[in-house]
Amino acid sequence: MKMRLRANFILATAVNLWMVHTVASLSNIGISHGRHANSRFLLDNGVSRTPPMGWNSWNHFWCGINESVVMSTADALVSTGLASLGYKYVNLDDCWAESERDENGKLRGKASTFPSGIKALADYVHARGLKLGIYADAGNRTCSNQMPGSLHHEYEDAKTFAQWGVDYIKYDNCYHDGTRNRERYTAMGHALQKIKRPIHFSLCEWGQEDPAKWAGAYGHSWRTTGDINDTFASVTWIADLNNRWGRYAGPGRWNDPDMLEVGSGGMTMDEYRSHFSIWSLMKAPLLIGCDLRSVSNRTLRILGNKEVIEVNQDSLGVQGRKLRSKDGLGVWAGQLSDNRVVVVLWNRSELRALITAVWRDFGLSPNTPAIVRDFWKHKYVSMNERDRLTASVAPHACKMYVLTPLQS
């Protein structure tokens, strides 16, 4: 990848000393590692050291899913090349099960829509190098009220999911008994620990009890907000809500601002690029919500932007955050591995505008030169930029850059 050419420009003997200063500076302004000291006593199982990537059925299909849709979507992930970029999870949302448990009290796939069973579906997905996700609920019924919840059946259901070969569980929060969310989600966390299968546990309690403060001890990702919808207003609202929890995220524990709407049809391409850029910068799970069997090439160019994906999957695992915003013109940034900084200039206003990020926003000296690469144009903007970066940004669009500072 072309970004690796940056090594040719870095003075190796000076960078190590300069890095210590820069990391300290970045921490001082809030682009920090966010290593919150909550103990990982349950599901520290090596899963999701980077944010999970894949597809979820709900945004497009709602309850209209069946095994043919899921299988053809798995095939589409492979044929479009998205799977090779890291989109590995094929996640069933609500409505996959029969309305009642069987005579032994077990969940079972809905015979009319999943006649081959969930185990066979998992085998199909696994055979393509992908992983299967499933949906459950920390209440008596799921949110559709069409299938049983897992409240008081946590171990039984966790064991069933493991036997089927499930790799991901989205655990929703409807029709419960009024007990605290944390208690009900802890119960499933303990159950998943007992079955000892490496399953990603996604807590979907909508941010009601500030899960960023505690959910990292029980699972791998947690919803920080209510449901997203396919509008720019929803994207901006959810981004701001998720932004406040950045310091709690890190490898194996991620803030989840809900699924991607890219390709669903309700926004412009500029708005979808902004959506994808900010979700990637925030280290959000990248779970596609559109119908991949008929996805457009323009949508694939967004979802398949390898350089933007690499920001999301960066090994340092630091959630980028909003540094400042005025009149809808924002500067978002985050620390990356190899001492780089990702910067998004986001225009949420209705008019084209100039947006400027200054080096001091990132804790850099104004005299520090930096290589600047545009991750949407896939080209270098400058090999020796200093002090500030200014761009003209269209309404609802963004510019996404990665800065590699050099020793002056």
Residue with tokens 């006649």: 115
Which of 12-16, 147-151, 361-365 is predicted most confidently? 147-151
pLDDT tens, position by position, 244-259: 999 999 999 999 999 9
Predicted local confidence at residue 32, as pLDDT? 42
Compute the average pLDDT of residues 66-80: 98
Check whether 14 has a pLDDT greater than 70.
Answer: no
pTM here is 0.91
Structure confidence at residue 165 as a pLDDT band (50, 70, 90): very high
| 15 alpha carbon, distance to own chain's centre | 31
**Residues annotated as part of the active site:** 172, 227
Predicted local confidence at residue 89, as pLDDT? 98
Check whether 16 has a pLDDT greater than 90.
Answer: no
Check whether 175 has a pLDDT greater than 70.
Answer: yes
Predicted local confidence at residue 286, as pLDDT? 99
Check whether 7 has a pLDDT greater than 50.
Answer: no
Please name the residues in contact with 130: beta carbons below 8 A apart, sequence gap of 6 or more: 54, 74, 77, 78, 83, 88, 89, 90
The SS3 assignment for 369 reads coil
Structure confidence at residue 408 as a pLDDT band (50, 70, 90): low
Mean pLDDT score of the chain = 91
Least confident piece of the model among 16-30, 75-89, 341-355: 16-30
Check whether 65 has a pLDDT greater than 90.
Answer: yes
Structure confidence at residue 31 as a pLDDT band (50, 70, 90): very low
**Minimal CA–CA distance to 341: which of 404, 398, 406, 251?**
404
Check whether 364 has a pLDDT greater than 70.
Answer: yes
Least confident piece of the model among 22-31, 338-347, 355-364: 22-31
Structure confidence at residue 407 as a pLDDT band (50, 70, 90): confident
Structure confidence at residue 11 as a pLDDT band (50, 70, 90): very low
Predicted local confidence at residue 27, as pLDDT? 40
Check whether 387 has a pLDDT greater than 80.
Answer: yes
Check whether 333 has a pLDDT greater than 90.
Answer: yes
Fold of 53-313: TIM Barrel (3.20.20)
pLDDT tens, position by position, 82-140: 999 999 999 999 999 999 999 999 999 999 999 999 999 999 999 999 999 999 999 99
Check whether 12 has a pLDDT greater than 60.
Answer: no
The CATH class, in words, for 321-405 is mainly beta
Predicted local confidence at residue 30, as pLDDT? 42
Q: Where are the domains of the chain?
A: 53-313, 321-405
Alpha carbon distances (Å) from 234 to 170, 208, 226, 279, 345: 21, 18, 10, 13, 19
The SS3 assignment for 211 reads helix
Least confident piece of the model among 19-33, 233-247, 273-287, 330-344: 19-33
Predicted local confidence at residue 43, as pLDDT? 53
- The count of C-alpha atoms lying within 13 angstroms of the C-alpha of 257, restricted to the half-sphere facing its C-beta, is 28
| In 184-272, beta strands by DSSP E | 200-203, 221-223, 254-256
User: Of 15 and 123, which is predicted with more confidence?
Assistant: 123
Compute the average pLDDT of residues 321-349: 98
